[in-house]
Homo-oligomer: A and B are copies of this chain.
Amino acid sequence: MAVDTLETRELRYFVAVAEELHFGRAAERLGMAQPPLSRAIQQLERRLGVSLLERNRRGVSLTGAGEVLLHEGRAALDATAAAARRTRRAGGADSPAGSRGRLVLAVKAAGSHELLQKLLDAYAAEPDAAEIEVLPCGLCEQEGLLRDGRADVALMHTPFNSLAGFDSEELLTEGQVAILPTGHPLAARRTLSLSDVSDVPDLPLARWPRHGTYAPGPGPEIHDLAQLAQLVALGRTVAVFPDSARAWLWAEHTAVPLTDAPLVVTHIAWPPHSRSLALAGLIRTATQL
């Protein structure tokens, strides 16, 4: 094998080991035996001329080079997976270059429903609109979906999502509201400030996972909006959301505008090297809404 080329398989193996920090578990995750995995990693280190793992007593840790390869390798694996997914998607209707394809649009499960509706309606009215598949996702997953090709384009919300590494256009700016149980004393106020809702001992702010882990704090750990809505209705927590989230409010909830919360900007975002005509049309439609 060429000495300066990294094979996808090697990256998969290394990332598994680097994430597990344990050859046995990594091998199991990869569906193979431990010895060939050890050998593959050794070969990789020899070929790169770099030591990636520190085999200590009782376990494994990453060297500096190992940390670099973990980050860069994940990015490379994402790009490779994206190539496969987008090619498959483009090939469904064995179509000539530049023809309409399908587009997968990732949206936060309950984010800016009206905007999404308007966008889909407007785009569908375009003369040669592609088919849009809407992929509802969790609270902060759009970046990953876009990176590994499960989605082609996404609606993102700063400052919750990061636009780093994507092209994007601004669509909508809005304030935030506190979602409170109807009947709570604060629900009667015309406006609130962030300190009002973050310092109430009997109403801790709910926490949701960022990159798979929960920030420390007193609030309940939630992972979908139904959970959150229920906890709010029960008077167990308070949540802060963009203005447009009022749309999914139930009868038991009250939304009170926050005066000092950061503005939420909805963007349409896509991988920077995209060249599809369908995508260009969707972006044009979105910016002209």
Contacts and interface: CB of A to CB of B under 8 A. Distances in A.
A52 to B, nearest CB: 8
A149 interface: yes
Given A76-B76, A80-B11, A164-B273, A65 B94 contact: yes
B5 A12 contact: yes
A143 to B, nearest CB: 10
A87 interface: yes
Interface residues of A, number: 56
Contacts of A76: 76, 79-80, 82-83
A75 to B, nearest CB: 5
Interface string A64-102: 111111011101101111111011101110111111010
How many copies of the shown chain assemble into the complex? Answer: 2
Contacts of A11: 80, 83
A108 B85 CA distance: 36
Contacts of A12: 5
A269 to B, nearest CB: 12
Given A5-B8, A69-B87, A165-B165, 11 more contacts: A48-B84, A49-B88, A50-B87, A63-B96, A64-B99, A66-B97, A68-B86, A72-B83, A76-B76, A79-B80, A164-B167
19 contacts: A5-B81, A6-B81, A7-B9, A8-B8, A49-B88, A50-B90, A51-B91, A62-B97, A63-B96, A64-B91, A65-B87, A65-B88, A65-B91, A68-B91, A69-B87, A72-B87, A76-B79, A76-B80, A79-B80
